[in-house]
Amino acid sequence: MPGGEAEADHNADDDEHDDNANDNYDNANNNHDNANHDDDNDNANDNHDNANNAARQRRDHAERLRRQKMTERTLAGRYELGERLGSGGMSTVLLATDRRLERQVAIKLLAEHLADDEQFVTRFRREALSAARLVHPNIVQVYDFGLDEESGRQYIVMEYVEGNSGAEILAAEGTLDVPEAVGILSQACRGLDYAHRSGVIHRDVKPGNLLRSRDGVVKLADFGIAKALSEESSITQVGSVLGTAAYLSPEQASGHGSNPRSDIYALGVVCYQFLSGRLPYEAQSITELALKQQREAPPLLTDLNPEVSAELAAAVDRALELEPEARYETAEEMRVALSDGARGVAPETAATSISTPRTAATTVSQARDDQPATTVQRRQPRQPQQRAAPVAAVAEQRRKRGWIAPTIVLLLALAVGAAALIYITGSGGANSVRLRQVVYEQVDETASQLQQLIRQNTK
């Protein structure tokens, strides 16, 4: 029996061991399931956190954009910015509303990538200081300028001219009629003359900077690279070329300094373009422009536009002279010449025609110092075409000359009679001397009248 009991006890122990093993297996499965569940919870939590972070980033980005937009829409707490009117390499011009004075203005903002460049900031502020001194009906008025602390942008507040620029007019019409072109240029000459008398050179005269309002008033705009005559600055030193290349004078294209007559040359280019629909010189670089200016003469305006008279063409030609001294001395002088030329009035002196070159050749310096200077043959001068005299004028001149001969014969007869009288009274006394003196005076007067008559009727 003891053996049976031992076997029974052994079987019982085996059963208990199996139960414990099963329990351990179940516990292990439960632990594994719990571990998997915890991993799932962690992944879910991570995904949730990532989603929250992405949403938060989107909200932050939207908030930054909103704040930036609010900052850009309002400048200096006063000017509400609107649509863009234009842009350039240095700045952008926007339409804005002055909340304080309740009027529309144009605001020029310095380009952001130039805001940290002290040289460009100096040039930008120089524009404001130069232009703010100019108060004239034909110059865009500057109202305010400064630095917006919130955005860090330099700005200039200017008069807003509602209308079109000369560039827009050219794009729409191609070629302007003579009265329209001369009307625009005459007003521009008045504004430019005032600026020069105030000691300011524009240095960037071009069609885009001539603004014509709805009521026809033309204003000279954007003294963006203007230079005060009485000041010296490294940003406008000799050798640095500024301005739109096509409108640069020969001295500017060659790297020399500018002067008021450089503006007059640029205005002559604008006038040429208005009347012909093309530039006097087409060039791809400053060096090519300088060479063409020295070598070639622009096509005659009378050949490009039959409506342009020889007198008007000569007036424009003088503004395009190579030598500054040969151009108009003032913009006002140019205005008078253009107005006279449009009416067919010829220049009063020979100075208004193309002058004779002083030298046979001109040296043009290249842009790089390590390149030798290029000597080019200077262009030949062009004389303005002479207009044929009207038929009526020729007939009148012939009619006047028809009675010249009889008049000369009569005056000669009087002179001969006077000489005979002198001979007869040659042997008399004091009375004869006085008589001879009177006759001499009459003969001299008759001779003077004869010479004057001949001059007047042989022109």
φ/ψ region of 255 (left if φ > 0, alpha if ψ in -120 to 50, else beta) reads left
pLDDT tier for residue 112 given thresholds of 50, 70 and 90 = confident
pLDDT for 388: 43
Measured distance between the N- and C-terminal CA atoms of the chain, rounded to whole angstroms: 172
Contact in structure between 166 and 266 (CB atoms under 8 Å): no
Q: For the chain, what percent of residues have pLDDT higher than 70?
A: 58
Q: Which of 102, 118, 99 is nearest to 110 (CA)?
A: 118
Q: Is the pLDDT of residue 234 over 80?
A: no
Contact 337, 349 (CB under 8 A): no
Q: What is the DSSP string of 172-241?
A: HHSS--HHHHHHHHHHHHHHHHHHHHTTEE-----GGGEEEETTS-EEE---TT-EETT---GGG-TT--
Return the ∠ at Cα 321 (arms to 315 and 322), rounded to 5°. 175
CA distance 80 to 98: 7
Predicted confidence (pLDDT) per residue in 387-420, tens digit: 444 434 434 444 444 445 455 545 555 554 555 5
Fold of the 74-159 domain? Phosphorylase Kinase; domain 1 (3.30.200)
How does 5-38 read in b/e, with b if 16+ C-beta sit within 10 Å?
eeeeeeeeeeeeeeeeeeeeeeeeeeeeeeeeee
- Only one residue has tokens 């939207």, namely 62
35-58: average pLDDT = 68
How confident is the model at residue 150, as a pLDDT?
84
> CA 290 to CA 312: how far, in whole Å?
25
pLDDT of residue 346: 81
Least confident of 36-50, 118-132, 245-259: 36-50
Distances (CA, A) of 161 to 99, 186, 291, 449: 18, 18, 38, 62
Give dist(CA 314, CA 294) in Å, integer: 19
Mean pLDDT, range 186-191, rounded to an integer: 98
Does pLDDT of 72 surpass 50? yes
| The pLDDT of residue 120 | 75
The pLDDT tens digits of the residues spanning 51-67 come to 777 777 777 666 555 44
The pair of three-digit structure tokens given for residue 264, joined into one six-digit string: 């007059």
Burial 315-343 (b: 16+ CB within 10 A, else e): bbbbbbbbebebbbebbbbbbebbbbbbe
Q: Do residues 241 and 252 lie in contact, with contact meaning Cβ atoms separated by under 8 Å?
A: yes
> How does pLDDT run across 359-387, given as a tens digit for each residue?
333 333 333 344 333 333 444 444 444 44
Provide the pLDDT confidence category of residue 235 given band limits of 50, 70 and 90.
very low
Q: What is the pLDDT of residues 196-209, one digit of tens each?
A: 999 899 988 999 99
Length of the chain: 459
Per DSSP, the three-state class of 364 is: strand
Please name the fold of domain 163-377.
Transferase(Phosphotransferase); domain 1 (1.10.510)
Give the pLDDT confidence of 266-310 residue by residue, as tens digits. Answer: 999 999 999 999 999 988 888 888 899 889 889 999 999 999 999
Average of per-residue pLDDT across 435-450: 54
Cα–Cα distance, 211 to 214 (Å, whole number): 10
Is it the case that residue 232 has pLDDT exceeding 70?
no
Active-site residue set? 204
At 124 the pLDDT is 74
> What are the residue boundaries of the structural domains of the chain, listed by start?
74-159, 163-377, 393-456
Tens digits of residue pLDDT in 142-175: 999 888 888 888 899 999 999 999 999 999 999 9
Task: Tell me the C-alpha distance between 35 and 41, whole Å.
Answer: 10
Contact between 291 and 236 under an 8 Å Cβ cutoff? The reply is no
What does the mean pLDDT of the chain come to? 73
Return the minimum-mean-pLDDT range out of 260-269, 316-325, 405-414.
405-414
355: pLDDT strictly greater than 50: no
Mean pLDDT of 80-85: 94
pLDDT of residue 181: 98
